[in-house]
Amino acid sequence: MRLDHIGVWVRDLDAVAAFYARYFDARVGDLYENPRKGFRSRFLIIGEGARLELMTRTDVTAVSMGETTLGLAHVALIVGDEAAVDALAARLRSEGHAILDGPRRTGDGYYECVVCDR
């Protein structure tokens, strides 16, 4: 058994796909559309392993950035060593993306930076 993919609701499918392609070298799959349901999605492949499915519908509602709700909390990607995390965080910040936390070392030893993809 293995994990195939995780689906994430997004408001702007193309913008979020472009974010992962630009900063995490994601390969963006073909657009799937179901006009009857107002549904669109794309699969992203980031490195090896499970895929990320970005999904949108005309009736999707958003929660506030950083708000704690039930359901998917985050997607964690390994980008390399601390220097790589710091460099990517600086690039994201300089290009106007919200850094929610870090870069920092967590209590259990991870070096992380939490960034919002919208």
Predicted local confidence at residue 99, as pLDDT: 94
d(CA 60, CA 11): 7
Predicted local confidence at residue 20, as pLDDT: 96
Question: In which residue ranges of the chain is CATH 3.10.180.10 found?
Answer: 1-60
The CATH homologous superfamily to which domain 1-60 belongs is 2,3-Dihydroxybiphenyl 1,2-Dioxygenase, domain 1 (3.10.180.10)
Structural contact between residues 5 and 43, judged by C-beta atoms closer than 8 angstroms: yes
Whether 8 has a pLDDT exceeding 70, the answer reads yes
Confidence band for 1, pLDDT divided at 50, 70 and 90: confident
Closest CA to 22 of 6, 38, 46: 46
Query: What is the distance between the terminal CA atoms of the chain, rounded to a whole angstrom?
Result: 32
Name the percent of the chain lying above pLDDT 70.
92
pTM of the model: 0.85
DSSP 48-116: SS-EEEEEEETT-----TT---SS---------SHHHHHHHHHHHHHTT--EEEEEEE-TTS-EEEEE-
Predicted local confidence at residue 33, as pLDDT: 96
**What's the mean pLDDT in 11-37?**
95
Q: pLDDT digits over 48-82, tens only?
A: 888 999 999 988 777 766 666 667 778 888 999 99
The two beta strands, 5-9 and 51-57, are parallel
